[in-house]
Structure 1
């Protein structure tokens, strides 16, 4: 029996003291910290400027923008509690943006929301209302999207064209409930979440189960599909390609790549956890793909930061969807935000850099590595890419040259460019220790006050203050122009009703 390997994310979260975990769960402090963190990041991290936003509906709030700033005003003042409940139940109360400048208001478009849709994380909206100082107009669509359930998305497998056509014909019967996305005809997005499919459309659920078992359909999030789509579009992934998946579990990207490389390609599926690798084998067995495809997978259970392959032949492409804080997944996992702290991403930063460097080690000259996370935290995204590039430039002259290449987004897809500047924060442990015995409301810290982050301008300032896991590479480098971080892709949840996601394509230049 092999040596048990730990999950880096579990290790990062496990460093917290048990009383602190209890305090976070009870107070909902993670929601407030999450909002403060992204509200203070530069424009382009999770939201655009004011004139680019969509108006979204959020119960019981109204935003008024004046020259002196933005304030929150509750609707329904003067009504009894029972009247307010009736008003809320009827859906008459909604969040709107009122702009005194009519020219600005003409650029605001109302976002479409499903009737009777309820938030997955109402506590996030409560925290949003609690502290008005965090609220900016451009952040509203992001907050609303992150609080709502994630729509069900499906992908028609492409290994058999005839089977794909039959599956698409069957799915066409559910038009209006299940529609094709604008940028790929093989991807479908439902009007509701996975959890509500049994209640809202049991016939569709039966069809999905049948088509999944015979290998025609795969339930997969849009963000999870992007690494393979991007590698395919830049020519790094195709029939007969050899692909390395360094962090492969649960296996959706592994199977997606396998459909493309075909029966003469090769996919190495590596994961640090034997348990997750066993689950991946089970997913491959249940996928319904023929053995001529599944036999092309080679399984490996190694730490991706120290991955060693027996072959001396280098690979055409590599994917490293690294362990991350996962705040982009909060639309499907309501347990992410209550415990959210910036230290989760800070503690994983070094591991993520090592995995990316290892992937670059194993691709051939001209090969491409796709680095991705299901987080929008720049410490886990652009900071990792910049750190890897600068590390390779600082090595000896024989080190391979690497550059970030642009992914030409398909028509209909909205991808936001990477950012070149960001801020670093931490939440001091003693901040929660002070409030461990306090009975406070959602999003509140000690003495009923909203918890606040500690921001650090430089690495030396953070080190002097005792910030744990601080590394110089977490801060933006002095010169980022030649790194071309703007070629990275950020997937905002409010753009296409998805989760949050980040990816970067790095090519090892041939010499």
Structure 2
């Protein structure tokens, strides 16, 4: 931040260059020549920290208040000390309600002094509790361990915060069915769920739902870890290749995804299609990617991106909206993909103009002209591509698309001979050298796309100190066209949607692994957008056309084998190794005992809303609650033969207490912390209101004997409860108010276990710490510094006890 010796080395420009990158993007006119130096200067500077406040959290107002009234001033004072004109911490102007924040401190700086370390600890605590969300957990796929997950999420402050932009263009409503096709690590899914829940009241659930999908099992685990903090019953996490995402279509009759008890086809109102990409917009957090950059990576991913996008379109309702996005600057992965999708959909898809949405977000229009580079050559039209490179350089990469069937098969215009090109391949010459700049362009006039690609959104780093990003908002205006294709091995005509039209006579889209190896993309990018090696080798399959009224042949392994002979088979969807089954929990004895023990009112629906992950219901340890929308989708999934590979579903609401005390309790199932906010308004038994001082004692000491409560009446009421789980909510002053309790969104409650002589909190230590701090903030904002401003901690036990007593007095007096 400051100058001289105190300057943080992480803030300096990264000494990394790649002439091929410079030449490629200068030729593409991503930015004007006058801007190039500014563009590169920001692109090679580490990314600042950023985070979002979870608007659905009960502590969101407190967190925002703490940022506005405490950290803005204290951190800015630190900046002033170092003679810097930079704002230390500020809300992002384009994100509503001051819920998104941007900090110019790097990771190392946050550890330098007590003020910054305090902010760092604040971020770690609130992130783990789900009150804030970091938009990307960097380098956490592959062989990660859960014990390192939180540390890695928080300590890497080089974040891709602009990842929060695509969900905002989706225009999600609370009743929408949403699909996140490539969801890991979960920050975007968390944001979608947050939007879905915004209008829900305590004890109720939105009518919509989110299916979050990822092809990698370990990334699914990370996705589950991230979204678990949302405590939602409206989420299903699935493990599929996005291009093979199941259609779940019953052949009874055509149907749409309505709020019916019985649905026959799974279509979505909104789809987020954040596809695997080369990730060259992420250099600010992964600078080594720049050294490895070459044009082949983007070219090799082009087809996969088209296939995933078309699969998304086929799963989209008519009238629905899909956002296609990448963290790449490459037009081959961006505008070229969007243009090809629009061409294949033949008017059934519209590119939406979103220039009036998020007006304070600085963005640039999409490109309408670009060049295609391959092995040191650049082409402005598919007519220029030699025949022997046409399996690599595809017509869809060019602004106007086209077909090689319409191109005169001649090499007379080539500047190099076939023999020279083959020699280059044999010698291993790549396209990432300076020789690209030495080869002339085939034509002087570049093709200009006739499609309105300027409606796409481009974010470049130097406009607002971000990474680079691309967004296209697509709306389905009519069913997809159905065409007839003839495959190599199958002479029968088959109806398939335009999602699977091929590039040549085979009518099968091919990925080009020879031009894009897995090693070309750093592990740093695998969180949201890195292509898996399997992606680059798989041949896509024909999908169902969910929108057509014409009969479709069901998708099955035999059909796939006919269409793509010799390729790997799709995994059987009813036999998933390592994935527990999903079963509806219908043990009436257990359900009735839970309802009777907690006095759960009839307004809380149980029938069909409880699921377990153990086929033997007599040995179930955890019971999950699902919303009506998720229930309907699960029923459809069972009806179509369990096509979904479900990694996680629903909200853990009840858990068997396995201790000796649990076995002797009238009801061995306790209410979980995750499920408490949902069920709390419906509980009429085993629930008490505690005074602030007794509530704080529970949080501080974890276990309190009945006779030791400050309020004797409260201790008596606890003693009279049935043994087992009970709920304690925070009251105001004394507990003279009659039961039953009135619960709303602001009610704070915790689960406890009532034993023979004491009450024990069943809340994690980190949650207890957060609640204690929230009590102080809500009780007396003028004395917020008691817990947060401890720049000179005392080691005197007497001083600590005196300070603790002062805190107790503050809380009790304020209430």
Measured against the shorter chain, the TM-score band is: 0.5 to 0.7
Q: Offset at 1:510?
A: 4.7
Q: Report the equivalent of 1:139.
A: 36
1:470 paired to 2:393? yes
Counterparts of 2:373 and 2:448 in 1: how far apart (Å)? 21
Change (3 A) 1:195 1:266: farther
1:187 paired to 2:100? yes
Q: Report the equivalent of 2:89.
A: 178
Q: Offset at 1:352?
A: 0.2
Q: Report the equivalent of 1:222.
A: 161
Q: Report the equivalent of 1:360.
A: 313
Counterparts of 2:393 and 2:274 in 1: how far apart (Å)? 23
Q: Report the equivalent of 2:20.
A: 33
Q: Offset at 1:465?
A: 6.5
Q: Report the equivalent of 1:383.
A: 336
Change (3 A) 1:342 1:30: farther
Counterparts of 2:27 and 2:449 in 1: how far apart (Å)? 23
Change (3 A) 1:195 1:238: farther
Q: Offset at 1:331?
A: 0.2
Residue 386 of structure 2 aligns to a residue whose secondary structure is: helix
Counterparts of 2:196 and 2:309 in 1: how far apart (Å)? 22
**Does structure 2 conserve the Cα–Cα contact (< 8 Å) formed by 1:29 and 1:339?**
no
Select the structure that is richer in helix.
1
Counterparts of 1:196 and 1:484 in 2: how far apart (Å)? 45
Of residues 161, 185, 198 in structure 2, which corresponds to 1:250? 185
Of residues 83, 99, 119 in structure 2, which corresponds to 1:204? 119
Q: Report the equivalent of 1:425.
A: 373
Q: TM-score, normalised by structure 1?
A: 0.66
Residue 271 of structure 2 aligns to a residue whose secondary structure is: strand
What CA RMSD, in Å, does the superposition of the two structures yield over aligned residues?
A: 2.1
Q: Offset at 1:460?
A: 4.1
**Does structure 2 conserve the Cα–Cα contact (< 8 Å) formed by 1:403 and 1:483?**
no
Counterparts of 2:221 and 2:386 in 1: how far apart (Å)? 41
**Does structure 1 conserve the Cα–Cα contact (< 8 Å) formed by 2:335 and 2:453?**
yes
Structure having greater relative contact order (Cα 8 Å, sep ≥ 6): 1
Q: Report the equivalent of 2:218.
A: 275
Q: Report the equivalent of 1:483.
A: 451
Structure 2: 5+ residue stretches without partners: 1-14, 77-87, 136-159, 198-204, 250-264, 402-446, 480-815
Aligned length: 353
Q: TM-score, normalised by structure 2?
A: 0.42
Q: Offset at 1:302?
A: 1.2
Q: Offset at 1:459?
A: 2.3
Show the 5 A alignment for 1:84-483.
136-160=33-57, 162-172=58-68, 173-175=70-72, 176=76, 177-184=88-95, 185-194=98-107, 196-199=109-112, 201-220=116-135, 221-232=160-171, 237-262=172-197, 263-264=205-206, 265-285=208-228, 288-290=229-231, 293=232, 295-310=233-248, 312-393=265-346, 401-407=348-354, 408-426=356-374, 428=375, 453-464=376-387, 466=389, 469-477=392-400, 483=451
Counterparts of 2:164 and 2:16 in 1: how far apart (Å)? 32
User: Once the two structures are superposed, what CA deviation does each residue of 1:216-262 show, in whole Å capped at 9, x if it has no partner?
Assistant: 10011332001111112xxxx12122100111111110110011112
Counterparts of 1:166 and 1:370 in 2: how far apart (Å)? 33
Higher Cα Rg: structure 1 or 2? Answer: 2
Counterparts of 1:159 and 1:239 in 2: how far apart (Å)? 13
Q: Offset at 1:415?
A: 0.9
Residue 42 of structure 2 aligns to a residue whose secondary structure is: helix
Q: Offset at 1:269?
A: 0.8
Counterparts of 2:170 and 2:358 in 1: how far apart (Å)? 13
**Does structure 1 conserve the Cα–Cα contact (< 8 Å) formed by 2:352 and 2:474?**
yes
Counterparts of 1:485 and 1:170 in 2: how far apart (Å)? 43
Q: Offset at 1:32?
A: 1.4
Once structures 1 and 2 are overlaid, which stretch shifts more, 457-466 or 341-350?
A: 457-466
User: Once the two structures are superposed, what CA deviation does each residue of 1:462-482 show, in whole Å capped at 9, x if it has no partner?
Assistant: 334637621101011178665
Change (3 A) 1:510 1:472: closer
Q: Offset at 1:296?
A: 1.6
Counterparts of 1:306 and 1:368 in 2: how far apart (Å)? 20
Residue 99 of structure 2 aligns to a residue whose secondary structure is: strand
Residue 367 of structure 2 aligns to a residue whose secondary structure is: coil
Change (3 A) 1:193 1:454: farther
Structure 1: 5+ residue stretches without partners: 1-27, 49-135, 394-399, 429-452
